[in-house]
Amino acid sequence: MKLLSLELKNWKSFRKRVQVSFSPSINLIYGPNETG
């Protein structure tokens, strides 16, 4: 599976719609557990 983008809305701290597009190379999402 290849993810091209991610859309969040009304989830934890993302009340408004936020779309994150990923690059074709390596992507890293980092943060402590349960920070949202």
Residue 21 lies in a domain: yes
Pairing mode, strands 18-21 and 5-8: antiparallel
Does residue 15 fall inside a structural domain? Answer: yes
Domain region containing 15: 1-28
CA atoms of 15 and 25, how far apart (whole Å): 29
Residue 6 included in any domain: yes
Count other Cβ atoms within 10 Å, centred on residue 4.
8
Does 2 fall in a domain?
yes
The total number of structural domains that make up the chain: 1
pLDDT in tens, the chain (36 residues): 788 999 989 987 888 999 989 998 888 878 788 765
Instruction: Tell me, yes or no, whether 1 lies in a domain.
Output: yes
Please check whether residue 35 lies inside any domain of the structure. no
CA distance linking residue 18 with residue 9, whole number of Å:
6
This prediction's pTM: 0.53
Say if 4 falls within a structural domain.
yes
- Cβ-in-10-Å burial (0-12, 13-18, 19+) of 13 comes to exposed
In a domain, 34, yes or no: no
